[in-house]
C-alpha cells in the first residue's frame, strides 16, 4: 500500500553504531497525514502494533527497504485536531527498526 502524506513532512534518519557483534543500523522517521479522516485511520490502524517491512522513496527518488521478517519495523502514531484556529489537524506516524544490515536500496 502506498501512503500519500503531506509533502515535505516525511523524514528518514539513519544511525550506525559499532557493537561487539558488528554494526547496528537504526532507521527512524515519521510521516504526517493531514486532515484526520476515518478512511485513513482505518487503513493505518491495521499497521499499528504490527511488525512489518517498509519501502520508502525519498525526495531524490531513492528507494529504501527497511526491516525484515526477523527484524521488523514498528509503527506508532500521535495526532491532534490543532491547537489554534489556523493550525492543521492530522496524525503523525513514527517508525523504527534496529537491524544488523544496511537498508536495501532498490
In this predicted structure, what is the pLDDT of residue 2? Answer: 62
Domains in the chain, number: 1
Does residue 6 belong to any structural domain of this protein? no
Does residue 2 belong to any structural domain of this protein? no
Does residue 105 belong to any structural domain of this protein? no
Give residue 62's domain range.
Answer: 11-100
In this predicted structure, what is the pLDDT of residue 34? Answer: 74
In this predicted structure, what is the pLDDT of residue 51? Answer: 66
List helix spans (H) across the chain: 38-45
Q: Is the separation of the CB atoms in 52 and 75 below 8 Å?
A: yes
Does residue 78 belong to any structural domain of this protein? yes
What does the pLDDT profile of the chain (106 residues) look like in tens digits? 566 667 767 788 999 999 999 999 999 998 887 766 676 677 777 767 666 888 888 878 899 999 998 898 988 887 776 666 666 777 788 889 999 999 999 8
In this predicted structure, what is the pLDDT of residue 25? Answer: 97
Does residue 33 belong to any structural domain of this protein? yes
Percent composition of the chain: helix, strand, coil (DSSP 3-state, to 5): 10, 50, 45
Does residue 5 belong to any structural domain of this protein? no
**How long, in residues, is the chain?**
106
In this predicted structure, what is the pLDDT of residue 98? Answer: 95
pTM: 0.76
Does residue 106 belong to any structural domain of this protein? no
Amino acid at each position: 500500500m502506498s501512503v500519500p502524506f503531506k509533502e515535505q513532512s516525511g523524514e528518514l534518519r539513519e544511525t550506525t553504531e559499532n557493537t561487539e557483534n558488528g554494526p547496528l543500523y537504526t532507521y527512524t522517521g515519521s510521516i504526517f497525514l493531514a486532515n484526520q479522516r476515518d478512511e485513513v485511520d482505518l487503513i493505518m490502524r491495521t499497521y499499528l502494533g504490527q511488525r512489518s517491512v517498509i519501502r520508502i522513496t525519498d525526495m531524490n527518488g531513492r528507494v529504501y527497504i527497511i526491516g525484515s521478517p526477523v527484524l521488523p519495523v514498528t509503527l506508532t502514531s500521535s495526532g491532534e485536531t490543532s491547537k489554534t484556529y489556523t493550525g492543521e489537524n492530522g496524525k503523525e506516524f513514527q517508525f523504527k527498526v534496529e537491524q544488523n544490515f544496511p537498508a536495501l536500496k532498490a
